[in-house]
Amino acid sequence: MYKNSIETKDLILAKAKMSDLNDIYNNYWSQQETSRYMLWIPCQSIEEAKEKLLRTIEFQKDKMAYFVYEKKTGKAIGMAGMKEIEPNIYEDAGIGLGKDYVGKGYGKQILNAFIDYIFNELNGKKIICSCDSRNTASAKLQQSCELKYSHSKSSFRQRDGEPYIADYYEICK
């Protein structure tokens, strides 16, 4: 149903494969600071990452969920996804990059690629993104892609039960 890959100037969003294990572990899943505002817990070992990768490969099969690959190196450097929550309304399922890959405009390329794909190929009408209110970089990213703040909501992280405020941003076609 969804594309197997989406390309930007510097990145390829594509389905995960077993050969990505070392890259995704080293560049993303093992990094404590990368998971700070995310819902997942960093992997403590390559063995744990292998199990997670097997689950991820299965999960991504029929979803708009991808690993993010840097074109110039071919390395898996993060993850990105969207989900249809109502007919023609999509919500982010997270955009995350390893610490060595932030600040390069990659997040903006990913979000703009999703906006283009959803509005122009999937006939989407609205995209909703959210972030922890303390994650100013994510809020700035969403605003730079012309999403507008809509509301905030109290929530709890599933991984540890920590309360946080989620800020929501939207863009309509």
Q: Using 50, 70 and 90 to split pLDDT, how confident is the model at 43?
A: confident
- Is pLDDT above 80 for 33? no
Q: Is the pLDDT of residue 34 over 80?
A: no
Domain extent for 29: 5-172
Q: What local confidence, expressed as pLDDT, does residue 161 receive?
A: 83
The predicted model gives 62-83 an average pLDDT of 97
Q: Average pLDDT, stretch 21-36?
A: 85
**The pLDDT of residue 152 is above 90:** yes
Percent of the chain past pLDDT 90, that is, above it, reads 86
Q: List Cβ neighbours of 112 (8 Å cut-off, separation of 6 or more).
A: 8, 145
For residues 167 and 147, give the distance between their C-alpha atoms in angstroms, rounded to a whole number. 12
Q: Which pLDDT does position 38 carry in this prediction?
A: 66
- Closest by CA to 8, choosing from 59, 70, 55, is 70
Extract the tokens encoding 95.
Answer: 């955009």
* pLDDT at 36 (0 to 100): 66
**Confidence check: pLDDT of 56 > 90:** yes
* pLDDT at residue 27, rounded to an integer: 92
Banded model confidence at residue 151, pLDDT cuts 50, 70, 90: very high
- Per-residue b/e over 96-118, b at no fewer than 16 CB within 10 Å? bbbeebbeeebbbbbbbbbbebb
The pLDDT assigned to 159 comes to: 74
Q: What are phi and psi of 81, to 5 degrees?
A: -165, 160
As a residue count, the chain comes to: 173
Question: Is the pTM here over 0.85, yes or no?
Answer: yes
The answer for residues whose C-beta is within 8 angstroms of residue 131's C-beta and 6 or more apart is 37, 138, 139, 142, 166, 167, 169
| pLDDT for res 124 | 98
* Residue 53, domain CATH: 3.40.630.30
Asked if residue 157 has pLDDT above 90, the reply is no
Binned at pLDDT 50, 70 and 90, residue 104 comes out as very high
How many domains, in total, are found in the chain?
1
